[in-house]
Amino acid sequence: MHDHRRLGRELGLFGTDPLIGAGLPYWLPEGAAVRHTLEEYVRGLEQRAGYQHVYSPVLGKRELYELSGHWSHYSEDMFPPMEVGGEQVVLRPSLCPHHALIYRSRAHSYRELPLRIAELGGMYRSELSGVLGGLSRVRAIHLNDAHIFCAPEQAVDEARAALELIRAAYADLGIRSARYRLSLPGADGKYVADPRMWARAGDMLSDVLAGVPYESAEGEAAFYGPKIDVQITDSAGRESTLSTVQIDFYQPERFDLHYIGPDGGKHRPVMVHRSIIGSIERAVAHLIEEHGGAFPAWLAPVQVVIMPVSEAEVPEAQRFLRRCAGLRAELAGPERGSLAARVRASRLVPFQAVIGSREAAEDSVALRLRDGERLDPLPSAEVLARLLEAGKPR
């Protein structure tokens, strides 16, 4: 497998600077194109699955994390609080508390449930500098997160549907190397003490995993509940979690969340926490490694490179470039060297559109694929339709 840090540098996707700091990468234009496409893809997937998107700030008062339980169970992974005007504010270590407050901001009837709130938002972890590297371990994380507020009897179906979304996304993204882990609490004191709650949530998640091969692991749960982790392996053979699905009885209790049931009384919802592709950073790191930089056509930073064979075909190539609106297209003219050299330089680009004198005269384009296959020249409109089709997921 390829190392995403080396490829990321080579392909100009992202970088770091000691003055910004360890674990704080920036995204270069081509990396940003991949990230933007991935974010739009996930938002579309969620929209079609009935999620509503929100935005919430990356800061919150210390009291918020005391209420959520992060302060007493998770503070060693959090940045120290900042004093502002006699208050302490904290860079958030997760999005859950903000979403619980959004749910609590108005009353809810059982008819509105399941209520699925999604956000692609920032969160921060004070990882030690020794473990930081590239995009896979960072201090500033952008998480594809969502919380489903539902009645207890809806939680298993919702968690199962989330797992289905993860599978669909992995198929579209070409992620193959994944295994499932049921993460349970360990013996140490970082988990909230409520044996009945753990057993109930754990049973529900086993239900969700019925028929799926998985391993159980103690000591890997969130402090507030067990979770299904979808595990991936990086180029160094290190395993990490990309996607998760969790069933949580604890935070609804802490935030005193409720909905009005069919009986007119107040009932406690369950929170299903789920992330389809995990953090954008880790997802892109994994995609770079999995594909060796040769992204699926719909995700590639540059989808087509247009190559006029000689100076005479440059105007024709420019005309074709203008017609490629909606695709990430680039022109590589003869000033960049021989045709063979230009083909080699764009070996990771899904399509190379070659225009020689014959093609220019006939308004056709000769496509080359990155596996070396050379197609016969086709009318340019046909080539364009083919490129646009390949530019969509799957």
Residues near Zn ion (CB under 5 A) are 96, 273
Query: In angstroms, what is the minimal distance from the CB of 146 to Zn ion?
Result: 8
For residue 273, which of 94, 114, 116, 148 has the smallest C-alpha distance?
A: 148
Rounded Cα distance, 92 and 25, in Å: 19
Q: How many CB atoms lie within 10 A of CB 148?
A: 27
CA 51 to chain centre: 16
Rounded Cα distance, 188 and 147, in Å: 27
Q: What is the DSSP letter of 222?
A: B
Q: How many CB atoms lie within 10 A of CB 29?
A: 9
The residue among 116 and 273 lying less far from Zn ion, judged by its C-beta, is 273
Residue 147's DSSP bridge partners are: 117, 273
- CB-CB contact of 367 with 378 (8 Å): yes
Which tokens belong to 373? 């296959």
CA distances from 110 to 107, 113, 178 (A): 10, 5, 36
Query: In angstroms, what is the minimal distance from the CB of 273 to Zn ion?
Result: 3
Residue type, 210: A
Instruction: Collect all residues with Cβ–Cβ distance below 8 Å to 346 and sequence separation of at least 6.
Output: 302, 305, 332, 352
Helix (H) or strand (E) holding 62: helix 62-68
Query: In angstroms, what is the minimal distance from the CB of 14 to Zn ion?
Result: 26
Query: In angstroms, what is the minimal distance from the CB of 97 to Zn ion?
Result: 9
CA dihedral of 62, 63, 64, 65, whole degrees rounded to 10: 60
The residue among 96 and 204 lying less far from Zn ion, judged by its C-beta, is 96
Rounded Cα distance, 78 and 90, in Å: 8
The residue among 166 and 317 lying less far from Zn ion, judged by its C-beta, is 166
Beta-strand pair 14-15/270-275:
unpaired
Query: In angstroms, what is the minimal distance from the CB of 227 to Zn ion?
Result: 10
The residue among 246 and 352 lying less far from Zn ion, judged by its C-beta, is 246
The residue among 166 and 365 lying less far from Zn ion, judged by its C-beta, is 166
The residue among 149 and 295 lying less far from Zn ion, judged by its C-beta, is 149
Secondary structure (3-state) at 163: helix
Query: In angstroms, what is the minimal distance from the CB of 4 to Zn ion?
Result: 26
Query: In angstroms, what is the minimal distance from the CB of 98 to Zn ion?
Result: 10
Query: In angstroms, what is the minimal distance from the CB of 95 to Zn ion?
Result: 6
Query: In angstroms, what is the minimal distance from the CB of 52 to Zn ion?
Result: 16
Q: Could you please report the per-residue DSSP string of 286-322?
A: HHHHHHTT---TTT-SS-EEEEESSGGGHHHHHHHHH
